[in-house]
Chains A and B, each alone.
Chain A
Amino acid sequence: MTSGRWLQYLLIYAVLIIGALFFLTPFAWMVSTSLKTGAQVFAIPPRWIPAPVMWSNYSRLMTEIPFRRYLGNTVLVTVTSVVFYVGSSAVVAYGFSRIKWPGREVLFYCLLATMVLPPQVTLIPQFVMFQKLGWVGTFLPLIVPALTGSAFAVFLLRQFYGSIPEEISDSARIDGASEWQIFMRIILPLARPALATASLFIFIWTWTDFLNPLIYLTDDRLYTLAVGLQQLSSTRSAAWPLLMAGSLLMSLPIILLFFFAQKTFIQGVSTSGLKG
């Protein structure tokens, strides 16, 4: 390696390390605050290392707010949504890619167009509709629409189905299999990686969703973590250690998910954006 290259790499590492510190510092602050006493939180100048380390903040979080209940609600809503969204999208994507019929292209463009429509436009009539059905204040507005599929997941799965050779379906058809059987027994098992990517994204969206629970969950016993933590922040202004502990716990499943599914995740981010 020439000395010029060495210098270049040295510079790259230096910049990357400084940048990484900037990106990591807020995390460190979150961890540090979550372990402070109420008094240390308001120390001037701010302290980074809590003394004493208040592990009890985490158990206080469980007793002072209905954290377990919020967690349970979040898990319930998220898991149901993922199953509904991915299941229905897998079926819909089949109709958009493995069966040829007139009108398919037009409807698919409609589906793509819904991805650009600002959600604010449909938000109010949807609210009115759910209000009239008596669903406001229940989980129904959060999970029922999932049965109709997600445009993003349909798009992703359709791309994937398209890469499966048509001959496989044809030979099954000759053997007398119905389209539903082909879908269930051949396409779905082959599409496992794409189903995993779609599940990952929908998991994160619903786990972190704030606006929909904020609008529809009027009863605080049904709050998800996102709404529950926000409420805590507006009602108890000095609850910072608890808030940071809660934020950390809410982030944890997603961070873990990211670590274990890093490849799927990054592939999903890049392909979902680019292969249009």
Chain B
Amino acid sequence: MAKAPTKATVARHSQQIAVSSGLTKRQRRDTWLGLAFVSPWLVGFLVFTIYPVIASLYFSFTDYNVVSDPRWIGFRNYTDLFSDPLFGETLYNTLYLAVLGIPFSLILSLLIAMLLNNKLKLQGMFRTVYFLPSVVPAVAAALLWRWFLNPDYGPINEVLWQVGINGPGWLSDPRWAKPALILASLWGVGGSMVIYLAGLQNVPTPLYESAHLDGANAWQRFRFVTLPMLSPVILFNLVMGIITSFQSFTNIYIMTGGGPSNSTMVYALYLYQNAFQFFRMGYASAMAWVLLLITAVALIAIFRTSGWVHYESRS
């Protein structure tokens, strides 16, 4: 006990010396150095994020066509949005594609990942085959599927015809256009499959072994070992799925352009049209802010209800 205070005083003393002489100088130098290193990003952050976010919020309260100056109109863009029937339709279409498309893609990619996680001959080849479509440029993939789904000259309806089914018009039939887009998007599940594969490889084998010893069958091992261990990865894929699906643009712009009769007019596409075809920049900015809000609400809801996600206690 007698030594402790002296040690503490010595420590405090030397700290004071350090503060009054070397360290602050070094700290100040490090601060400038750190800022200097991150300055390219910092400038970009201010110019390409902070300023645009503020400007976008301002534009959303104006009538602005780029040529003449923005004119303040208060909440009119927002109230106009909610009386714009097309806005409701684009929201519905976007949610339809998300609510149906995301679960399909999550389940399909998990199934493929589990199959490919087995020790197999030609494992590498199989993985490549399933992953490859997801690296095909969106433009090329969209052009390909537009032609692949052609009701008269495309192979899908030919196959259907051979088993006695008269295939639908796919992209030209308002009832089938959205399912057709989902079908085409499933071709690219390779990206989330790879993430699942990585997750599966992190599941410790002893867990399976002890489950096996406890007499758990294959389904029980999946339900009580694989699923909980994989839940952080499922959450990640779900969040990414929501973000990308709310923003999906390129494939739909090229495959349907929003048609037939607006059945695939999705949020990002309508926003693009308002901004860059009709030059209603204020209206489009209001749409962007509504999208930001919807995304935020969806993500908060998901994280709030993510009790099913099992985190390993970090040792």
- Measured CB to CB, the residues of A under 8 A from B are 9, 12-13, 15-16, 19-20, 23-27, 29-30, 33, 41-46, 48, 88-89, 91-92, 94-96, 99-104, 107, 110-111, 114, 116-129, 131, 145, 147-149, 151, 154, 179, 183, 204, 207-208, 210-211, 215, 225-226, 229-230, 233, 240, 243-244, 247-248, 250-251, 254-255, 258-259, 262, 266, 269-271, 273-274
Contact = CB atoms under 8 A, between A and B. Distances in A.
B52 A121 contact: yes
Interface of B: 27, 30-31, 33-45, 47-49, 51-53, 55-56, 59, 66, 112, 115-116, 118, 120, 126-133, 135-140, 143-148, 152-155, 158, 161, 187, 191, 194-195, 197-199, 232-233, 236, 240, 243, 246-247, 249-250, 253-254, 268, 271-272, 275-276, 281, 284-285, 287-289, 291-292, 295, 299
B34 A124 contact: no
A211 B142 CA distance: 14
Contact of B38 (A15, A92, A123, A270): A92
A30 B232 CA distance: 37
Contacts, number: 260
Prevailing SS type, chain A contact patch = helix
A225 B140 CA distance: 10
Contact of A117 (B38, B53, B287): B53
Contact of B143 (A48, A127, A154, A243): A243
Contacts of B250: 210-211
A45 B161 contact: yes
A4 to B, nearest CB: 11
B53 A121 contact: yes
Contacts of A44: 152-153
Q: Is the interface of B mostly helix, strand, loop or mixed?
A: helix
Contacts of B140: 30, 229, 247-248, 250-251
A233 B254 contact: yes
A125 B56 contact: yes
